[in-house]
Structure 1
Amino acid sequence: MWQDPLFILVVVACLVVLVILMIGVGSFGKGGDWHRRNANRIMRWRIIAQAVAVLLILLFVAVRRMGGN
């Protein structure tokens, strides 16, 4: 599976979502001025990254079902 570039792309996309989520949760826990200025922006980036990750997962499943390697 690790030789499949689409699988690697899916893993990277999921890790990006995880990093953005951890930044958001960390800033929420810490609070402060930075969090107030950037909380909505971080949430938007997480939603976009999560949508891309879900689309890549669906693409990966579709390719695998059609007999792709």
Structure 2
Amino acid sequence: MLSDPLFIVAAIACLGVLVILVLGIGTFGKGGEGSAKRSNTLMRYRIYAQGVAVALILLYVFVSKMGA
């Protein structure tokens, strides 16, 4: 499983979602109007990244089942 490049890409995408989530929550915690706008933007990026991560996970599962 760890030698499969698609699994590694999906795992990196999941870590990317986590990083964006932590940055968004941290920015939101600072307070202020500018921070709220930036946090909102980061959360929007998180949704896009999460969609990509889910698609990669589904692709990995599909490819794994086809090869088995």
TM-score by length of 1: 0.88
Larger mean Cα displacement after TM superposition, 35-44 or 4-13: 35-44
Residues 18-61 of structure 1, C-alpha deviations (whole Å, 9 max, x = no match): 00000011111221344123122111100000000000000000
- Calculate the aligned-residue CA RMSD, in Å: 1.3
The answer as to 2:25 corresponding to 1:9 is no
Structure 2 unaligned residues grouped into runs of 5+ = none
Equivalent pairs counted in the alignment come to 68
Higher helix share: 2
Q: What are the equivalent positions in structure 2 for 1:1-69 lying under 5 Å apart? A: 1-67=1-67
Structure 1: which amino acid aligns with 2:24? G
After TM superposition, which residue ranges in structure 1, 4 or more long, deviate above 6 angstroms?
none
- Give me the whole-angstrom Cα distance separating, in 1, the residues matched to 2:61 and 2:37: 38
Deviates more, 1:46-55 or 1:31-40: 31-40
Q: Classify the secondary structure of the residue corresponding to 2:26.
A: helix
Unaligned runs of 5+ in 1: none
Seq. identity, %: 57
